[in-house]
Amino acid sequence: MASINANFLKLKAGYLFPEIGRRVKAFTDSNPEGAAKLIRCGIGDVTEPLPEAVRKAMHEGVDEQGDAATFKGYGPEQGYEFLRQAIVDNQFADLGISADEVFISDGSKCDTGNILDIFGAGNTIAVTDPVYPVYVDTNVMAGNTGEGDANGAYEGLVYLPCTAENGFVADLPKEKVDLIYLCFPNNPTGTVATREQLKAWVDYAKANDSIILFDAAYEAFIQDPEIPRSIFEIEGAKDCCLEFRSFSKNGGFTGVRCAYTVIPKSVTGSTPDGTRIPLHQLWSRRHSTKFNGASYPVQKGAAAVFSAEGKAQVSALIEGYMTNAKLLREACQTAGLTVFGGENAPYVWVACPEGVSSWDMFDKMLNEANVVITPGAGFGSAGEGYFRISAFNSRKNVEEVCKRIAAAFA
């Protein structure tokens, strides 16, 4: 009798976005006029074309596959040197990261999930609340939690509330935790952490022998030069931090798939007998055994993000989305709503009017404004009373959304 991984059965049926999909479908099925006007500001998916420099490089990569002399079969599982080096030169210059500490993959969702393969059982794991659901669900699947409650909180995880009071940057845990997921700029709140705040986290990790899993997928959206773009800007981070990065949101790679994880060789974990093992060695083995490298034409395209043309084109994309964020912030403020985020991130985090739940707000925006937003409660119980608007959209759509927000709250 083949036994299944029964931890999967602890997962709540509604991963957030399927539930949103269900409600949107019910609305569009019963309301063709509203369906035609529907604007989606829910899921954080880019909408603007892939930069020309990236497409040009991908075309070249495809053409190379057409000639036996330039054909590339299996590449290095950890990624091509040309891309790993370009990442270090452009993203981690002067931070002491070397190209062989960068592992190329086909997506940050994969990396943030698969990373649990290299950790053992029995770790105390901290996540923020609200949180990107993948961190939680992958821990449930790996057996690192108990059962979930009605709010979708799982026994055994340490939840760190992020609220208006702490500026949506979690306070340090009172207990000792072993693994900590941090995401800045934050998904879903769009907020950032200062250098001092990140320093406190790194100091905590060093003092408690814990590992920080730092998700910097939205780094490119940081506008404030004082805000760190990488955890490795913080002293001591190379002893206790991994960093996840992606081409999804800067280069518009959500459909093309490329990301990377930085694991300094100096970060170690423990065996049961206390032997220290570099995580780099474990992830390298994991990548070699369960992955066969990201697509070659895609890696070519990713490297082109760092060309002069690529940089200019990515900057223009970021600027466009950040102008969207500014318009959405202003529209919500004008409507009398309290707004967070959206200044260094493509997400605007909005407080619902007093007494309105986040799913009620979702339904109101869907039915009255024909706009899909994401209810804060879907990201955790501390997200109740908030909703997220994504700035990933065309300017035309964003301007229309702003008008509809004004109308809905008039």
Give the dihedral sign, CA 56/59/64/65.
positive
Strand 386-390 versus strand 374-375 pairing type: antiparallel
Stretch that binds a copy of itself, among 95-103, 152-160, 221-229, 263-271 (CB under 8 A): 263-271
Query: Smaller CB distance to a copy of itself: residue 288 or 338?
Result: 288
Check residue 81 for interaction with a copy of itself (CB under 8 A).
no
Query: Smaller CB distance to a copy of itself: residue 167 or 173?
Result: 173
Check residue 388 for interaction with a copy of itself (CB under 8 A).
no
Instruction: Give the 3-state secondary structure of residue 81.
Output: helix
Check residue 1 for interaction with a copy of itself (CB under 8 A).
yes
Instruction: Give the 3-state secondary structure of residue 241.
Output: strand
Do 328 and 402 form a contact (C-beta atoms < 8 A)? yes
Residues 137-196 close enough to bind a copy of itself by CB under 8 A:
137-138, 141, 178-179
Query: Smaller CB distance to a copy of itself: residue 83 or 211?
Result: 211
Stretch that binds a copy of itself, among 25-33, 67-75, 82-90, 325-333 (CB under 8 A): 67-75
User: One-letter amino acid identity for 190?
Assistant: G
Do 58 and 297 form a contact (C-beta atoms < 8 A)? yes
- C-alpha–C-alpha distance, residues 15 and 134, integer Å: 9
Stretch that binds a copy of itself, among 185-193, 203-211, 314-322, 398-406 (CB under 8 A): 203-211
Among 75, 161, 167, 353, binds a copy of itself (CB under 8 A): 75
- C-alpha–C-alpha distance, residues 147 and 47, integer Å: 37
- C-alpha–C-alpha distance, residues 384 and 403, integer Å: 25
Joined together, the tokens standing for residue 242 give 């991994």
Check residue 256 for interaction with a copy of itself (CB under 8 A).
yes
Query: Smaller CB distance to a copy of itself: residue 300 or 329?
Result: 300
Q: Give min distance, CB of 59 to a copy of itself, in A.
A: 6
Do 12 and 148 form a contact (C-beta atoms < 8 A)? yes
DSSP state of 147: -
Residues 299-338 close enough to bind a copy of itself by CB under 8 A:
none
Among 84, 109, 238, 388, binds a copy of itself (CB under 8 A): 109
Check residue 67 for interaction with a copy of itself (CB under 8 A).
yes
